[in-house]
Chains A and B, each alone.
Chain A
Amino acid sequence: MEIKLEEISVVYARGEAPLKALNKVSLTIRAGEAVALFGPVGSGKSTLLQVMAGLLKPTAGRLSVCGQDGPVVLAIQEPQRGFFAATVREEVAFGPENLDLDPAEIEARGTGALTAVGLAREKWEAPPQRLSGGEQRRVALAAALAMKPRFLLLDEPTTGLDGPGEEALRQTLQRIKTEWALGLLVASHDPDFLYMLTDRVLVLVGGELRADTTWGAWAQEAAAVAPDLQIPFLLGLLRRLAEAGAPVQAAPATPAAAWEELFRLRREREKGGAG
């Protein structure tokens, strides 16, 4: 299954000066991929996600979803804003109910999704409003997963989370990514969160797709394409080390390889220092 965008443009009529939110964006993502949608605040990321989820009709261009074997589900920024049910369980069941499934299936999906996001069982009957910010984020994720999406689109999922909350979310997403075999598209302005989670990066600046590449390659070309954008801290560090003459590879393919480079450098230095 894949989602294909061809020359998608979105223009918001706003008073006398219409706002071009997206300008001729073309791309394809496939189920099983983990993709980052990276760009500054207000660069059109939310609009692009809404178009992909079929919630917003583009002004121009074509959206095609081939091989429909599951829904495309979007979790908006701060998804707890949509909570309305009396218990967490009912909140999570809302999506599957809208898909007209039978009660046993709805129940099973709710259990599966809540287990997958690792929310403690004693919280399942609690009102979602009473949970902490981190727990609410898990409930929202479970509500999306219960719809068995083929593509899961997340809009700025770290907004309002603190360090531990962000780390827990990253681990949960990492697990879901491998176990649920879905396509994951995460929009964020934070390159470090995205880097640890995704392999491919789409860079959106001012409604235009500036790059569609790997993180390693993006770190190399970022300065030329969008100098105002940060690159992941680890890649920036390796770059700086390489410039200082250290024997490291400046653009490793994965975060694991990046860490390996750093540990290797450290081991060699220690050895050199001792000898």
Chain B
Amino acid sequence: MARFFVLEEVSYCYPGSAKTGVCQVNLELEPGTFLAVLGANGSGKSTLARLCCGLLKPTAGRVLVEGYSTANDEELRYIYQRVGIVFQHPEDQFVASTVEREVAFGVENQNLSSRAIRQVVDAELARFGLTALKTAHPHSLSGGEKRFLSLADVWALQPKLILVDEPLAMLDPGARERIARLLKELKTNGQSMIWFTHNLAEVMAADQVLVIAAGRVVWRGQPAALLAMAGQVRAWGISLPPATQVASALGIDRSPVVNVDELVAALWK
């Protein structure tokens, strides 16, 4: 049986541009893993995301999904069935003029009967709390609703691997919490996820972290280990949770501090 998801010495250079691409990235993912890719803006995160799902083809190396290579045009459609991507800006992926047709679009491409499509669409609308908005125009939604819709679009396809690029940008705390809950649910379904962000606080629950700087992987490990190396993490351009930042500024370095409770405990028992 072919390995689930592998990047072998993957590089990408933008043609005729000084823009940083991605350089010799190696990665292997087991099914059911939550991987976080952390990096500053311009570190190559978004390029890597597009390489992982086949929208960009590596200029060197290979991306393999269950044995299918993204370099091969005939195999791409098998990869699209297995890997879904949620873009940074939800508006960039909307094609329909009602919410329900928008969720249906990907499912329709699988050439199912309208009853089967309806079942999937209704389930996803309910899961993301969009049922009441199903006839609304996607562009008329609020920022949080647009984000939920962009997630529903991809969830409806039930990919084995979901890539999300900075999904919490410009969201209010309430919407952030709901998304965090949804992602936990994902894990119990045995799907895998790669979450691309510059903010460590968003991915403290990740099984594995990969730090990328100037297109290269500079660190791998557990998210909690990054808390103890505040100076280095900041130098990579990654944001630490606010409690960790304050703890590091106050010189509290005995144990890693992630949230306010721990910080209060460290300052005043």
Contacts and interface: CB of A to CB of B under 8 A. Distances in A.
A–B proximity contact (CB within 8 A)? yes
Interface of A: 40-42, 130, 132-134, 156, 159-165, 189, 192, 228, 230, 233-234, 236-237, 240-241, 244-246, 259, 262-263, 265-266, 269
Contacts of B152: none
Given A41-B143, A163-B40, A266-B250, A241 B242 contact: no
Contact of A133 (B42, B172, B242, B243): B42
Nearest to B142: A42
8 shortest interchain CB distances as A-B pairs:
A163-B239, A246-B268, A162-B198, A233-B242, A162-B41, A41-B143, A162-B40, A164-B237
Given A41-B142, A265-B267, 9 more contacts: A41-B143, A42-B143, A132-B41, A161-B41, A228-B172, A228-B174, A237-B264, A266-B250, A269-B268
Given A162-B40, A163-B40, A233-B242, A262 B237 contact: no
A202 B103 CA distance: 39
14 contacts: A41-B171, A41-B172, A132-B41, A163-B198, A163-B199, A163-B234, A164-B234, A165-B41, A228-B172, A237-B260, A240-B260, A263-B250, A266-B250, A266-B252
Nearest to A246: B268
A241 B42 CA distance: 39
A133 to B, nearest CB: 5
A241 B172 contact: no
A262 B246 contact: yes
Nearest to A15: B140
Interface in B195-213: 198-199
Interface of B: 18, 40-42, 142-144, 169-174, 198-199, 234, 237-240, 242-243, 246, 249-252, 260, 263-264, 267-268
A162 B169 contact: no
A245 B268 contact: yes
A262 B143 CA distance: 36
A265 B251 CA distance: 12
Contact of A233 (B171, B199, B238, B246): B246
A41 B250 contact: no
Contacts of A164: 40, 234, 237
Contacts of B199: 163
Nearest to B41: A162
B204 to A, nearest CB: 16
Contacts of B172: 40-41, 189, 228
B260 A236 contact: yes
A189 B142 CA distance: 15
Interface core residue of A161, A233, A265 (most chain B CB under 10 Å)? A233
A234 B263 CA distance: 11
Nearest to A243: B264
Contacts of A130: 18
Contact of A41 (B41, B144, B242, B264): B144
Interface core residue of B144, B169, B198, B234 (most chain A CB under 10 Å)? B198
A159 B264 contact: no
A160 B41 CA distance: 8
Contacts of A189: 170, 172
Contacts of B169: 159-160
Interface core residue of A159, A161, A240 (most chain B CB under 10 Å)? A240
Nearest to A135: B42
Contacts of B237: 162-164
B251 to A, nearest CB: 7
Contacts of B198: 162-163
Given A41-B144, A133-B41, A164-B237, A237 B263 contact: yes
A241 B40 contact: no
